[in-house]
Amino acid sequence: MHVTQCDRRALVFAVEELKPFKGWSQGSFCVRLSARACDCGVFQSFYFSCHHALAACATVSVEWAKYVHPVYMQEPMFEVYKIEFSPIPDKKL
């Protein structure tokens, strides 16, 4: 895949697939980094950069990690386990 068009100010890119993508007949995907969206739907559905968005980031040397939702980062995961969990009572006792 490669980026065929880019607007660095608006962070909008056209990324062309070199082979079919998961049954899509569309060979080109519009990636809007500022909106965290891509025509493939993965970026906005999972809040995680699809490979089209990664290609766009690489083209303009933008750090891809800032487009990943915080829920996927380590810190929020560690915060969950800071809380003390109460044991589930055994109903047999």
CA distances from 31 to 4, 23, 71, 81 (A): 11, 19, 22, 35
**88 in a structural domain:** no
What is the distance in angstroms between the CA of the first residue and the CA of the last residue of the chain? 61
**89 in a structural domain:** no
**91 in a structural domain:** no
Structural domain boundaries enclosing 49: 2-80
Whole-number pLDDT of residue 23? 63
**90 in a structural domain:** no
**57 in a structural domain:** yes
pTM for this one?
A: 0.72
Whole-number pLDDT of residue 39? 92
Mean pLDDT by 10 residues, the chain (93 residues): 86 86 72 93 89 92 88 80 83 71
Q: What angle do CA 34, 36, 40 make, to 5 degrees?
A: 130
The domain tally of the chain equals 1
